[in-house]
Amino acid sequence: MKKIWSRYKETVQKNCTDQELDETQIAYWRNSLFSVTVIYLIPLSVIAIVPGVYMSITTNLPILLAADFLVVSTFLVIAFNGHISVNTKKLMLTASLYVVTVVLLYYLGSFGPGLLYLLSITIFATLIFDIRYAISSVVINLIICIVFALIIYFDWGTGPMNVQYGLNSWIAVSSNVIFMCVVTVLLIPKLFNGLQKAFDNKNRIEKELKLNQAELNKSLDQLEEKNRELVDFAYTISHDLKEPLRMIRSFMGRLKMKYEEQLDEQALKYIHFAMDGAQRMNSLIDDLLEYSRVGRLHFKKEMINLNDLIDEIKQDFNVETGNKKPVITAENLPEIKAVPISIKLLFQNLISNGIKYQNGSRTPEVSISCEATERHWIFKVKDNGIGIPSEYYDQIFNIFKRLHSISEFSGTGMGLAICKKVVTQHGGEIWVESEEGLGSSFYFSLQKN
């Protein structure tokens, strides 16, 4: 039974809707309403037919029976014929309802549901048609009411029409029905207009979003491409620069060795500056190469025990700076899945900065800790160094950005840029909080896998 019902529903729905419409069009919903109406009206029309047959027998009016059968057969054609257009089907249904209404009005007068049918047809038409048809239905109602007024006035009829109503009472009753029809036609379309506006807005926003998304994707692709080109460029340039630089250093060295005796103090100083400059240039190129390598040469993620990693790094810093040996502590660090070389570089840079940027009055202390959130590990590398003015919190992560001269602190300005790149490639962020004179805390997050 259930199967038959769902097959029946499916067929009617298919025959009474337009497959080309989509849910953002009012016409789609009007058609859905129409198909649902047809689906339920067919079984429900039995309820109307049984009393119709009874009435037609008791009142000896076979025309009532004929009208009932006209409506039911129209329903059946609408439901099961797949060749007639949906709009024509709607018109057929409305027309058959009008036929029944007129018959009911003529033969049953105020006993029958004729006037109620008039109002129902208008409500129905307002729901399933656009406004032009709804207004037409009010006009048709008006014409029907006027015609019946004439029938009563000129005493043309044979049915109970003339008996039931005097002209005045007909005008009073029917004008109220017309009034309600007008109200219906005025109000219900407002709802549909509002809905249509909402759908239009939704469509427009979706369209704009799609366009923006497409543009964004294009820009992202271009950006990625440019970035790749830039990294490749940096790699090639730094690689190629190393050779002439090596020659400058080696020939300067030879010059110094061979002519040290003949050269005066000034010339030796110049050679020293040239070699020192070449040495710094070499460090810059090394760091630039390191930067371009992050995520390029090494990208395979592995499980890393961070406690072991920090122990390893500690050995490298187990030397005295000034006459103070740095103290590096780490609390309960987790095991994470990440690119080992990159993560080592990250911790190395942050720890070495914590030890380097000191004013010499304190023993350098660097502590490393970690907290877990739902999706990330948040690490903190805290030192007791000179601190960083807040206006530089963002800038220090840029390539070559330094806050001090070489004579104050050695360095290339690449360390934090490398840290940022590593963190970004692990789906995280890096930032700093600091108090000048007291120390800095570098925070970074890494995505858990």
According to CB under 6 A, which residues from 297 to 356 bind ligand ADP?
Answer: 349, 353-354
Taking CB under 6 A as the criterion, the residue among 249, 280, 301, 402 binding ligand ADP is 402
Tokens of 318: 């187990």
Binding residue for ligand ADP (CB under 6 A) from 292, 385, 422, 423?
385
Separation CA 223–CA 354 (nearest Å): 34
Taking CB under 6 A as the binding criterion, the range among 40-48, 117-125, 155-163, 410-418 that sits at the site for ligand ADP is 410-418
Nearest to 188, CA basis, from 248, 142, 123, 241 = 123
Among 411, 422, 423, 430, the residue binding ligand ADP under the rule CB under 6 A is 411
Interaction between residue 396 and ligand ADP (CB under 6 A) = yes
Distances, alpha carbon 48 to alpha carbons 68, 71, 76, 112, 425, in Å:
8, 10, 15, 12, 73
Q: How far is the CB of 390 from ligand ADP (least distance, A)?
A: 12
Would you say 81 or 410 has its CB closer to ligand ADP? Answer: 410
Among 115, 343, 416, 423, binds ligand ADP (CB under 6 A): 416
The CA distance from 50 to 56, in Å, is 10
Using DSSP, state whether 329 is helix, strand or coil. strand
Q: Cβ closer to ligand ADP: 232 or 435?
A: 435
In whole angstroms, the minimum distance from the beta carbon of 220 to ligand ADP comes to 27
The pair of structure tokens assigned to 78 is 């609408």
Shortest gap between Cβ of 196 and ligand ADP (angstroms)?
59
The type of residue at 6 is: S
Choosing from 107, 125, 383, 426, the residue that interacts with ligand ADP (CB under 6 A) is 383
Task: Please enumerate in sequence order all residues whose Cβ is within 8 A of that of 341, keeping only pairs 6 or more positions apart, or say none.
Answer: 298
| CB closer to ligand ADP out of 189 and 415 | 415
Shortest Cβ distance from residue 298 to ligand ADP (Å)?
A: 20
CA distances to 269, 407, 411 from 245, in Å: 19, 22, 18
Question: How far apart are alpha carbons 113 and 104 in whole angstroms?
Answer: 7
User: How many C-beta neighbours within 10 Å does residue 1 have?
Assistant: 5
Count of residues of this chain found to bind ligand ADP when the rule CB under 6 A is applied: 21
Least distance in Å: CB of 422 to ligand ADP?
A: 13
Cβ-contact 128, 90 below 8 angstroms? yes
Rounded Cα distance between 279 and 242, Å, is 11
Binding to ligand ADP by CB under 6 A, coded x per residue (else -) over 123-162, reads ----------------------------------------
Residue identified by tokens 């911790």 is: 347
Choose between 33 and 403: whose C-beta lies nearer to ligand ADP.
Answer: 403
Q: Please, what is the minimum distance in Å from the beta carbon of residue 437 to ligand ADP?
A: 11
Closer to ligand ADP at the Cβ: 147 or 403?
403
Helices (DSSP H) in 129-166: which residue ranges? 131-154, 161-164
Q: Which of 403, 433, 443, 447 binds ligand ADP (CB under 6 A)?
A: 403
**Of 54-62, 141-149, 187-195, 385-393, which segment contacts ligand ADP by CB under 6 A?**
385-393
Beta strand pairing status for 335-338 and 302-305?
Answer: antiparallel
Closest by Cα among 353, 227, 348, 234 to 291: 234
Which residues contact ligand ADP (rule: CB under 6 A)? Answer: 349, 353-354, 357, 383, 385-386, 388, 396, 401-404, 411-417, 440
